[in-house]
Amino acid sequence: MQIRGDRDLVRRHRQHRNAGISYDIALFTNLSPEHLESHGSYDKYRAAKGKLFKNLSFGKNKGLLKTAVINLDDPEADYFLKFNSQNVGFTLNNCYKKSAKEIISAEAVVVKDDGSEFKINGVNFKTKLLGKFNAYNIVGASRFAGRWAGVKGLEKSRPRA
């Protein structure tokens, strides 16, 4: 998906298909057992996903702050927070971690049979996408939408107190 001009792209990361790509921003939503068969073990899967975050700081400087956006509600959040000093955390459960420089907190989260609703920085979100995991995907992506695509109301997250 193209965002601005001919240099910005958002794409889903596949561990084995990204050699040579210099990422500026990485988003961690969760670590689930869905892809274990291709990695052999949970630890190997976590390490493979962690490579993206570790390599963030080694990529080509294109004028953007290398940023890791991390789901603070996931049990593996601390593992992914350790790779980058420019961490932005997001949460649906008011979970705060010391190593997140900024926090995106969804408020008034309601997950229903026909979708979900929540607020971020006073901006109302309503989606027909089912499941709490889709709410996490949207809240995490809101960082990209606000900071880099200029969606009004989402350009700022709360600095950590």
Length of the chain: 161
Task: Report percent pLDDT > 90 for the chain.
Answer: 14
Tell me: pLDDT of 54 over 80.
Answer: yes
Q: What's the CA gap between 145 and 147, in Å, rounded?
A: 6
Q: What SS3 class is residue 124?
A: strand
- In the CATH hierarchy, which top-level class contains the domain 15-150? alpha beta
Nearest partner of 136 among 76, 82, 71, judged by Cα: 71
Asked if 105 and 94 count as a contact pair (C-beta separation under 8 A), the reply is: yes
pLDDT at residue 20 tops 70? no
Between CA 95 and CA 98, with CA 132 as vertex, the angle to 5 degrees is 15
